[in-house]
Amino acid sequence: MALKIGRVEFGLRLLLSLISIAIAYGYIGSELYQVIRLNDYAIAAYMILLAILGTVAIPQSLGGLLAAIAAIVTVYFKSNLNYSLITACVCLGLYFASFNDLRYEAQTERKLSIWEIIATIVTITLTIQGTFLITTKPITWLTSATIGAIAAAITLVGKQLLDTDLPSQAIWKIFAIVTGSSLAIGFVSSLIFYATTKPPVLY
């Protein structure tokens, strides 16, 4: 099963990864509105910067496994062992389901550049941030599974996009559209929710 847009074909696993990334950025957008509403502009600026850096860093496919471990550990500390196991099982299941399809070449002796180290740190930090935001609300098996899917997506999506054989500019453009639109949708959804549910002001 695949979705074809123009001359580009997106496989089911790549679509699932992009949807998972979109959910994560939607949560960040929703929380961004809450932070701005409270006039905490320093935190808002940090969240926007991290989201932008994540859009550039995640397609590099660096630090994904460490980010996935960080997500599982965050779920454990925010809830309990059972929910963290659900997160781990979903993450590992999706990872191994997709790994064999990737054209992966190990480069054990290659040293990371400064940019690649920064990209790794950004990927891990963004994953922890997204997991933390999702778990601010009461956690359920569904949210645990969602976090697992997001963790797997962050690990896989960069390589999945590279395997489409699209040029780097096109890959970043696709990823920027997914993340940017999801961030905006999360922000606007939170704005509308607050505008329609806030109590009336009595004079």
Q: Domain locations in the chain?
A: 15-100+114-195
In the chain, what is the straight-line distance between the N-terminal and C-terminal CA atoms, in Å?
Answer: 58
At 132-151, the pLDDT tens digits run 888 887 888 888 999 999 99
Most confident range (mean pLDDT) of 21-25, 92-96, 193-197 is 21-25
User: Which contiguous run of DSSP H or E holds residue 11?
Assistant: strand 8-11
Query: Which pLDDT score is estimated for 201?
Result: 53
90 pLDDT tier (thresholds 50, 70, 90): very high
**Whether pLDDT at 62 is above 80:** no
> What average pLDDT does the chain have?
83
Q: How sure is the predictor about 200, in pLDDT bands with cuts at 50, 70 and 90?
A: low
The pLDDT value given to residue 102: 60
> What pLDDT is stored for residue 195 in this prediction?
82
Q: Alpha carbon of 83 to those of 5, 40, 76, 124: distances in Å?
A: 37, 31, 7, 20
> Residues 161-198: pLDDT tens digits?
887 777 888 888 888 999 999 999 999 999 898 888 87
- The better pLDDT of the pair 45, 1 is held by 45
Q: Which residue has the higher pLDDT, 124 or 168?
A: 124
How far, in Å, are 8, 34, 112, 143 from residue 27 at the CA level? 28, 11, 31, 12
pLDDT at 2 over 60: no
Cα 35–chain centre separation: 19
> How many Cα neighbours within 13 Å face the side chain of 103?
5
Q: Is the pLDDT of residue 97 over 90?
A: no
Task: Kindly report whether the global pTM for this prediction surpasses the value 0.85.
Answer: no
pLDDT of the residue at 59: 83
